Amino acid sequence: MKSILVMNGPNLNMLGQREPALYGHSTLADVEQLCRDTGDKHGIAVECFQSNHEGELIDALHRAGRAVKEGKMIGVVFNAGAYTHTSIAIYDAIKAAEVPVIEVHISNVHARESFRHHSYLSPVAEGIIVGFGVEGYALAIDGLVAKLGSQ
Ligand code: DQA
């Protein structure tokens, strides 16, 4: 059974308590369960990882790239939080690891502050899901499986 890594970056461990008007009331544990359930629907194992630290996210992307090359993993569903808008290092890691990434944002970043309008990840993403609330993670898994699941 192939896998998908669902990865969440900084402050997403605070889901449920953090600005619920923007991000909703689901916790990270709820989101991870939604992702595992969505994986089950496709016969895909879903691994989950959250970190507030850029280097740990980069290490996980490198590991995921190796797993993809070994035929064990399809790719990564990744909400990089604010690193989306700042991290050339994460952009470089996605390219270096040659790992397929679906970029996810719970909120519609384009309807928010202008500093959220630019993403370093979008140019190296296989696809982007923005503004569907936490349901976006399930859409991203569906999309990743539809696009790359048969490879
Ligand atoms: C976010 C949007 C980012 O701008 C923000 O820094 C986050 C969450 C989202 O899911 O909507 O931490 O990625």
**Under CATH, what is the fold of the domain 3-148?**
Rossmann fold (3.40.50)
Look up 105 and say whether it is catalytic.
yes
Q: What is the per-residue pLDDT across 68-94, written as a single tens digit (0 to 9) for each?
A: 999 999 999 999 999 999 999 999 999
Is 120 assigned a catalytic role? no
Q: Ligand 1 centre from 81 Cα, in Å?
A: 4
Question: pLDDT, tens digit, for every residue of 96-146?
Answer: 999 999 999 999 999 999 999 999 999 999 999 999 999 999 999 999 999
Query: Considering 42, 83, 105, 120, which one is annotated as catalytic?
Result: 105
Query: Per-domain residue ranges for the chain?
Result: 3-148
pLDDT score of 1 more than 90: no
92 is in an annotated binding site: yes
This prediction has a pTM of 0.97
Within 6 Å (CB) of ligand 1, which residues are found?
11, 79, 81-82, 84, 105-107, 109, 116
Q: Is 10 exposed, middle or buried (0-12, 13-18, 19+ CB in 10 A)?
A: middle
- Given this model, what pLDDT does residue 8 score? 98
- Residue 142 labelled as part of a binding site: no
CB of 99 within 8 A of CB of 76? yes
